[in-house]
């Protein structure tokens, strides 16, 4: 039976066979088929192992990214709520000094209330309400008509004795904007509650900046209360107001097991499956959640795997062809090994090429991921020399109008021109990058007095050259300096970002500097709060 099978196989391949040599031909082809089958098994096993190992590495990297994002957002939430709570205590002190809620309306006390609000990062309003929920006096956005919040759950919670209450996201009764409230009671000298102090906070202040850390992935950043209500979310907060996640896997399965963690689950809010990290903030009854869409998690891995499998499959077909039609077993075996090694090398090269493709194609500048890696190396080098880094956070003013009026082609030309201005106005060793959209960043290194002067000089020249070119845009620049005792680049970037927003508020087309002494850095502040 085996002999007949071998003969039939030989005839199907158009190989002449005589009765006397049929057994030899069959034996040779049988050996070739066995060798080919074994080679296929080996190649498939190797391919599966490489693809699986790459998948595990990808998951580990994405988990680390989600955890890091959650830690940064947690630190920011702690910093923001602490600043708001300090302002609420100051408001209570103003009431105590004035003698009554109504007396705060007089200018000396109202100015103190306004100053307290000015120190709240992300704060929109600071209001004082009496025990009936009627607004008595406020700073920030004003409203002519009477305001009453007696029906608001956060007001009721404070009146019931809660010391500090953070509300879910809600629509403001001043202008219908989406905000969340931080409130605490105002007590007289006997301890009796005589009113409520509350500050309206911008929800985007908590989460929007940290969505930029997603490195091109589809991410979600959400701050929940421990009862499942949403305080802030990016993206798509407006459609989620009023929804509750208490019955979702985060609250039903994960938090009961551990205050921090990483898990896979499908969101009950939007139905998307995500790799998520979370951190409980028990002192505030808040939970920070950062999620990466499952499609984003595996997109790069799937692309690498498809290319790798395609190359291995092609190589395998060629090897099989050579095994069946080659001149001899030794030559065919060598070709299999050669092709397998070439495929493995090509796959590694492809993997390396995919990881290296991280420059902005429009301007040629490093994109966010590559910029941060190089900046980290500059930070370590500067620390050894006793130097510091300065980050210039550059945002174009009026860029959207250029796109709207003249089209994206003109907008791209503006971005390339601004990138060239940055190259002309910086030193050879300085690092430039494009964060995305119309946002750029520059990293300068030097000793404290010198680098500050260089940074402000570079900022002034860039602003002037962009304005003088009459491109239809201007730029606002924020400068942040690294602290000598802090190793976290995010701190200086945060200071630069905050300084840039101050420059915009001051009228745009200007620069502003924010040094570590003006505000504790994120890492240090996190340790202070803890």
- Catalytically annotated residues: 438
Q: How far is CA 528 from CA 308, 333, 484, 494, in A?
A: 49, 66, 17, 17
Whole-angstrom distance, CA of residue 69 vs CA of residue 215? 11
Whole-angstrom distance, CA of residue 294 vs CA of residue 271? 12
CA-based nearest residue to 481, from 375, 359, 390, 406: 390
Instruction: Tell me if 513 sits within 8 A of 452, measured CB to CB.
Output: yes
Query: Cα 501 vs. chain centroid, distance in angstroms?
Result: 19
Q: Which residues are paired to 432 by β-bridges? A: 442
Instruction: Tell me if 499 sits within 8 A of 480, measured CB to CB.
Output: yes
**Can you give 128-148 as a three-state secondary structure string?**
EECCCCEEEEEEECCCCCCCE
Q: How far is CA 84 from CA 23, 80, 81, 164, 334, in A?
A: 91, 6, 5, 11, 72
Using DSSP's 3-state secondary structure scheme, residue 477 falls into strand
- Could you say which DSSP state residue 167 is in? P
CA-based nearest residue to 272, from 215, 232, 233: 233
The pair phi, psi for residue 295, each rounded to 5°, is -65, -40
Whole-angstrom distance, CA of residue 192 vs CA of residue 91? 16
The pair phi, psi for residue 211, each rounded to 5°, is -65, -20
Q: Which two tokens stand for residue 400?
A: 């959207």
Q: Work out the burial of residue 517: count CB atoms within 10 Å of its CB; fewer than 13 is exposed, 13-18 middle, 19 or more buried.
A: exposed
CA-based nearest residue to 113, from 91, 97, 132: 91
Whole-angstrom distance, CA of residue 246 vs CA of residue 263? 16
**Length, in residues, of the chain:** 530
Dihedral, CA of residue 463, residue 368, residue 275 and residue 244, to nearest 10: 0
Question: In the sheet where 439-446 sits, what is the strand order?
Answer: 431-436, 439-446, 388-397, 474-481, 511-514
**Strand boundaries in 421-528, DSSP class E:** 431-436, 439-446, 474-481, 511-514
Long-range contacts of the stretch 452-458 (C-beta < 8 A, 24+): 452/390, 452/481, 452/513, 452/515, 454/390, 454/427, 455/390, 455/392, 455/479, 455/481, 455/513, 456/511, 456/513, 458/392, 458/425, 458/426
Residue 40: CB atoms within 10 Å: 15
Whole-angstrom distance, CA of residue 84 vs CA of residue 200? 9
């Amino acid at each position: 039976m085996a002999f007949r099978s071998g003969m039939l196989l030989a005839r199907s391949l158009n190989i002449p066979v005589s009765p006397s040599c049929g057994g030899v031909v069959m034996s040779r082809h049988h050996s070739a088929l066995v060798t080919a089958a074994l080679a296929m098994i080996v190649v498939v096993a190797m391919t599966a192992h490489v693809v699986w190992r790459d998948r595990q590495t990808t998951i580990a990297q994405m988990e680390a990214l989600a955890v890091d994002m959650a830690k940064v957002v947690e630190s920011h939430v702690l910093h923001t709520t602490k600043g708001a709570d300090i302002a609420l205590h100051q408001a209570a002190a103003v009431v105590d000094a004035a003698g009554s809620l109504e007396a705060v309306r007089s200018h000396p006390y109202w100015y103190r209330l306004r100053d307290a609000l000015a120190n709240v990062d992300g704060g929109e309003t600071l209001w004082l309400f009496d025990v009936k929920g009627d607004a008595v006096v406020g700073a920030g956005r004003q409203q002519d008509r009477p305001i009453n919040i007696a029906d608001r759950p956060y007001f009721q919670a404070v009146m019931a004795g809660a010391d500090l209450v953070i509300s879910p996201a809600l629509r403001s009764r001043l202008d219908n904007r989406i905000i969340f409230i931080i409130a605490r009671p105002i007590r007289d000298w006997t301890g009796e509650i005589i009113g409520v102090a509350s500050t309206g906070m911008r929800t985007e202040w908590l989460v929007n900046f940290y969505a930029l850390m997603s490195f091109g992935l589809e991410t979600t950043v959400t701050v929940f209360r421990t009862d499942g209500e949403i305080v802030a979310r990016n993206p798509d907060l407006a459609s989620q107001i009023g929804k509750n996640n208490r019955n979702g896997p985060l609250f039903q399965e994960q938090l009961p097991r551990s205050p921090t963690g990483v898990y896979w689950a499908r969101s009950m809010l939007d139905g998307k499956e995500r790799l998520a990290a979370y951190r409980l903030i028990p002192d505030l009854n808040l939970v920070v959640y950062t999620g990466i869409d499952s499609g984003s998690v595996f997109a790069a891995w799937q692309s690498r795997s498809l290319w790798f499998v395609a190359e291995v499959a092609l190589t395998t077909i060629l090897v099989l062809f050579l095994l069946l039609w080659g001149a001899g077993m030794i030559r065919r075996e060598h070709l299999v090994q050669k092709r397998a090694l070439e495929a493995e090398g090509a796959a590694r090269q492809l993997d390396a090429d995919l990881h290296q493709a991280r420059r902005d194609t429009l301007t040629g500048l490093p994109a966010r991921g590559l910029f941060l890696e190089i900046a980290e190396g500059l930070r370590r080098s500067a620390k050894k020399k006793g130097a510091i880094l300065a980050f210039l956070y550059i945002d174009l003013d009026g860029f959207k109008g250029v796109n709207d009026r003249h089209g994206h082609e003109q907008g791209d030309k503006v971005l390339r021109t601004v990138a060239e201005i940055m190259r002309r106005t910086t030193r050879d060793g300085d690092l430039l990058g494009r964060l995305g959209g119309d946002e750029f960043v520059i990293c300068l290194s030097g000793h404290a007095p010198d680098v500050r002067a260089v940074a402000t000089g570079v900022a002034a020249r860039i602003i002037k050259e962009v304005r003088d070119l009459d491109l239809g845009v201007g730029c606002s620049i924020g400068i942040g300096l690294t602290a000598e005792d802090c190793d976290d680049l995010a701190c200086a970037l945060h200071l630069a970002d905050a300084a840039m927003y101050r420059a915009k508020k001051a009228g745009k087309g200007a620069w502003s500097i924010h040094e570590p002494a003006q505000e504790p850095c994120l890492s240090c502040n996190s340790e202070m709060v803890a």
